[in-house]
Every structure is written in structure tokens, then in C-alpha cells.
Amino acid sequence: MWNILVVTSILVFTNIEAKRIPNWHLKIAQSQGPNTCAVEEVPGTNKKYWTDCKYWMNREICGSKTVLRYECCEGFHQLPRNGGCFGVKPMTDVVRTAKDLGATLFVEYLNEAGLTERLRRPGEAITLFAPTNEAFEHMTAADQESLRVSLLEPESPYLLYHAVAGRKLHSRDFKGEQEAETLHQGTRIRVNKYNHGMTTVNCAPMVRKDQQATNGIVHLIDQVLIPPSTNVRPTIPETLFQDGRFREMSRAMLTSNYVNELRRGGPFTLLAPTDEAFQSIGQSELQSITADPEARLALMKHHIIPHTVCLPAVIDSHKMTAADGHRLQLSCNGSGVYVDDARVLPEQLIAQNGVISVISKVLIPDRSRSVMSLLSRRPEQVSTFSRLLKKSGVGEAYLNKPNITVTVFAPSNHAFNQMPEEEFSQLDQDQGKLEELMKHHVVIGRVKTDTISDDQKVDSVDGQNALRLKVYRNEVGVESAIIEDSDIEGQNGVVHIINRVLTPPSGSIMELLQSKEEYSMMADAIHHVQKFEPQFLVSRSNRSFTMFAPTNQAFEESLGEGNFHNIMKNKRKLKKMVQNHVVDNMFSAGSIHTKLQYNVRTEYQTVNVHKEKDGLMVNSAHVIMPDVVTKDGIVHCIDKVLVPERKKRKH
């Protein structure tokens, strides 16, 4: 062992081989001489990880920068007055090799149990997983007593459980979830190899690998492997049921009808909250979960990861997908391992088809929460909407009731920030108006995006206005808003986060134009068309329109006052001009994206809609006020008349 090197650069472990090694690091590694390998140490702990490479870069493990030092690689030793490792070690049997590696307590126990010669038997290859001396010191009092009793048996279960006969298991041949039969009555151990380089045996980290011996191979591990009490370990459900700390979790498993899946399949990692963790949930919330079969199942599946996750393999922040399809974040720091915000106890229970990790908190998935709870848990997105819902009384009336299923279109905080300040302040002063606005965002029943069709209408609980749902190329809209975060499904409904506040419309397109003096010319033009075509701009098949409404100034600049009056006298030209401003469908400005061109068919010709830096464009007209919602559609106010192009005659 020589110079200690503190390396300050940080690399993600999974990408070590792909990262370019800095020249300064190459020089330091090369100066160690031939046949040297890096040893990685975690400061403040006695954790060490031996590598088979001198160029190994250090990393962060649970928030601590590791320190590198160098030793001779496997099979070599340093000669006196000579740099590097030129000496070749003589090979010995697996027992002597384990002793040379520092596993002296393990070898003493082998001698005491009379098993040394058993592991030196000629003609049989042995793979030995030898615990470090520190591993024995960290055993519980109960396990230490079991070990002492085991040493008195003819073939000690504790010791033989660390040996595999008949083949050398080299680390390069390890696979994820690999099992191997041990010399203890054929009981099996599970080897897991993780993509960041960590390898575990029954979740005991392998700290030194591939130490060659004359009759096999030795791997050094830093935990003692506890053999099962019977030849076959119990499955995850039986392991959970037999432990007295998990009565509530056992009940959840049984009532969710997920027991057979956890018996037959695997390997799994079950994140098991203790009974004390369940007590921290409000009684009413727990009752609403247990009374709902789908919420119970969602809760159970949210605590299951469909592969083995050993705690020593958690060295950074990792995303894992639970059985319910949602992501869990596993992380660690100096105080331990966490899943989301629940602390994971150091103990792991090994089962036949996986492991059980004990956690300090119940992980409640969205599907097991009320809609009001879903909103409250997203303050960075919808804190304003949540506050107004509670103040209006709509939240308590509709969103917290397990017997009422709702869909909530929740405007984001940014959406409320876009409201005029005077209009927003009125919501805090006028309770009636606030209640009306909040009800306009709530629909009875679950409306998920995969069930929505274009122009579908759903009734809001305000009892007066239906919400029009829109299906665009890559997104879904409601009225003038776009759904930004969809299908957040809870116990009693669904939440969609939208980018605009939905204001209940007060009139039709025609009523809107007639109420605004600056759009009187467009209103007059439509009125004239309706005189000879009464059904014009009357919704057909319950569909809604999009109206491009030019201002009076736009008419004067585009046509001139005289030309406008001439067109008003010509029914055919007037109808064509007005039709060129009407789309027999409803679309919002938010559905139009930059750098894309949209050919939109009006009732007469096709217009080009696109976005530029200064806003939405229709042909060469600027949209000066987009998304004015009416009862029969949406209006985009423009600064030019969309004069119909003359159709070329066919020769």
C-alpha cells in the first residue's frame, strides 16, 4: 500500500468506461508502476472497494467523494526497493487464499468446525464467498448465537452456505438475478450485478473479486450470509407474514389479492412499511383506501419493484419503476438510504423470490389519494388553484368525497399569473364569482385523455356550461387551454393540469362582435349574410367554430370604405369574404407551434396559420387578440381582412 490520492473530479459510475480519463490522472496512475490496481475508499467509513484497474476514476458514493489508493493487483506483490508489483504470488487453496485476504475469522471458524479439509478436497472446484472480519463484528447478537451453535454441527450451515462446489464463479460470468447452489444442503444464494459495477451476494456487497486459488476462486464480501432455517426459503408473502412487524402490510397484501403474484413470480423487492408507519396515516384516509379495491391494489403495487434492489447497490440517486408503473426515487446520503422521502432501514429480509426492505413511511401513490390531495401535493404547479378551490367550497363539496368521481382541469400557477390583475383580485372579493369559476373546471366522472374524441363535450358542475374537448396533433385541449400534465389519476377522479384559466363564456360569436364597437363592420357583414342564409354561423352537429375577426381598421386599410360597401351589396362576394374568416372547427392558439405551418380550411378557402416571433399569423394578418371563447366557438382577432384569392380558371 502506497500513496493515498484524493481525486476531486466526479464521474457518474455507470459511465466510467465511456468517460475520457484526464491526462493528469493517467500520469498519476502510470507512476504507480505495473500490475497495480486502484482501491476506492469512502472517507469516514471503513468501506473499501478493490478494482482490477489502475486507471479507475473516483466517484461520489452517497454524497461522499471517494479516495483512491493503490495496491498490487490480484496475484502480484511488491518487491523490496522496486516500484510497481513485479512479484508473482504463489497460488494456494481457497482456505489459505481467504486467510491471506484478511478473512482470518472466517478461516478460524472453518478450522473450528472441521471444514477446512472439506474445502481442500482434490478434484472439486470451489467458489468461496469469504466474509471480512468486520462482517462478523456487525452480526446481531441472535445471529452470532446461531453461528456458535452452527459450529457444533457436523456440517455447519453458516459456513457451508458461503461455498459453491463444482465450478468457479468468476465475476465476469455473473448475471443479474443469478442463483447458485451452496454446499449447505443445496440451498441457493442469489448474485446480483448492477450496471454501476456493484455486485452483491444475497445483498452482501462483494468488495474484492476473483482471487484465484489452486482449487477455485475466492470473493471477499462484507456481510455474513445468513442461511435459511429450512432447505427452501419462504417466499416474500410468507416471510412478511412470519415477521410480527408488518400486520398492516400483510392485511393490505391479502385484501388486494396480490399474494399469489408475489408467491409465483419474482424476483421482487417489497418495500414494507412497519405497523408504526401505517399509524402515521390519517384514519379517514386509510379507511378510504382500504374501502376501494383499486386504491388497495395501487397501494400494494406501489411498494413492489420487479427485481432485486440490494441496499448496498444504492450509491447515488436512482429511478426505479414500481409494479404500478410509477417511478420511485432511491437515494442515499451519510444517514442512510431513502425511497422518495421514506427512510429504508439497514436490514433486508432475504426471501426465496426476492428481498424485503423495511421502510419508515407508507408510500401512497396518486391512485390511492383523493383528488384534493393530488392537487395539494403539487404546490409548484397548482398552489393557486388549490387555494381558490378550498376558499370557494368546491373542493370540499366535490373533490374529497369518495362517492363522487370527478375530473378536474386545474390551471397552473403560470395560468393564473397571466390573468389581468383586476380580474384575479375580484376572485378574492366575490365569493359567488369564485365559486362559479371553480365549478367551471370540475366535471363529474373520470375523463382520461385516451377516451377523448375531438369536439367531445362534458358538463361542468356549474350546471350551465359544457366544456369542449379538443384533440390536436400531439396534445389535447379543453376550451382555449392545452393540457400540460395529463391523467394524474386519484382514488376519486382525474386531474389534468392546463395552461389557461377557463372562463365561462357569456355569449355567442355574433353577440361578442356586436358588443364591441371595433368589430362592428364584421358583425354587419355576418348579419347581411344571415339575411339571405339564416343558418349561416349556426352550429351544425353540435360543433363549434373558429372565427378570424378583423377590426374595423383592418377593413378600412384592406378594402377601403367604398370597396367594403360595394362588397356588402354583392351577396356572392360578401358570402365568400365572410366564409373565408370562418373555420368549421374550434382551435386555440396554444395548438399552433413555432417553425410549423398549418393549412387550415375555412368555409371558402385554405389559409396558412403559423407562429412567428411576434405572435400568431393567419396568412399575412397578425392575431392581435387570440382565444376569445364564446358559447359557439372561439374568436381570434386579426389586423387584416383575409381577402379570398381569385380562383384560376381551368383552360
CB-side exposure of 122: number of CA atoms within 13 Å? 0
Residues in the chain: 651
Query: Residue 472: which of 452, 488, 489 has the closest Cα?
Result: 452
For residue range 70-82, list pLDDT tens digits in order: 999 999 999 887 7
Query: What CA–CA distance (Å, rounded) separates 317 from 314?
Result: 7
Q: What is the pairing mode between strands 633-638 and 545-550?
A: parallel
Q: Is 339 helix (H, G, I), strand (E, B) or coil?
A: strand
Please state, in angstroms and as integers, the Cα–Cα distance from residue 446 to each residue in 287, 482, 495, 527, following that order: 22, 18, 9, 41
Count of other CB atoms within 10 angstroms of residue 32: 21
**Single-letter residue type at 118:** R
Cα distance between the two ends of the chain? 94
Nearest CA-CA partner of 400 in 272, 492, 262, 529: 492
- The CA distance from 605 to 550, in Å, is 17
- Crossing angle between the packed helical segments 421-429 and 431-439, to the nearest 10 degrees: 110
Report the DSSP beta bridge partners of residue 128: 163, 218
Rounded to a whole number of angstroms, the CA Rg of the chain reads 36
Point out which residues pair with 163 in neighbouring strands: 128
Residue 514 phi/psi, 5-degree rounding, is -70, -25
What letter represents residue 318's amino acid? H
Contacts for 610 with CB less than 8 Å, ≥ 6 apart? 592, 596, 597, 598, 616, 617
Beta bridge partners of residue 608, listed in sequence order: 599
Evaluate whether 72 touches 80 at the Cβ level (below 8 Å): no
Distance CA(588)–CA(499), nearest Å, equals: 12
Distance CA 77, CA 35 (A): 9
CA distances from 367 to 290, 325, 361, 415, 484 (A): 12, 11, 17, 26, 19
In this prediction, residue 650 carries a pLDDT of 54
CA distance 252 to 363: 13
Taking CA 569 as the corner, what is the angle to CA 566 and CA 571, rounded to the nearest 5 degrees?
Answer: 120
Single-letter residue type at 19: K
Helix 283-290 vs helix 293-301: crossing angle, to nearest 10: 100
Q: Are 220 and 206 in contact (CB under 8 A)?
A: yes
Q: What pLDDT score was predicted for residue 539?
A: 64
Per-residue DSSP letters for 25-50?
A: HHHHHHTT-TTEEEEEE-TTS--EEE
User: What integer pLDDT is reported at residue 284 of this predicted model?
Assistant: 85
Give residue 111's pLDDT: 96
Is residue 87 helix, strand or coil? strand
Helix (H) or strand (E) holding 311: none
Predicted confidence at residue 13, as pLDDT, reads 31
Residues 6+ apart with CB under 8 A from 558: 550, 640, 641, 643
Q: Which residues of the chain have pLDDT under 50?
A: 1-18, 651
Q: What is the DSSP letter of 648?
A: P
Helical packing angle, 561-569 and 571-579, nearest 10°:
110
Three-state secondary-structure class, residue 75: coil
List the grid coordinates of 457.
363535450
d(CA 442, CA 526): 35
DSSP letter at 460?
B
Strands 621-630 and 60-61: unpaired
Entry pTM: 0.83
Q: Distances from the Cα of 291 to the Cαs of 79, 247, 279, 296, 301, in angstroms?
A: 73, 18, 17, 8, 17
Spatial distance between the Cα atoms of 569 and 508, rounded to a whole number of angstroms: 26
Vertex 79: Cα angle to 133 and 91 (nearest 5):
55
Sign of CA dihedral 391, 397, 403, 406: negative
- Rounded distance, CA 512 to CA 379, Å? 36
Place of cell 459510475: 13
Check: CB of residue 466 under 8 Å from CB of residue 458: yes
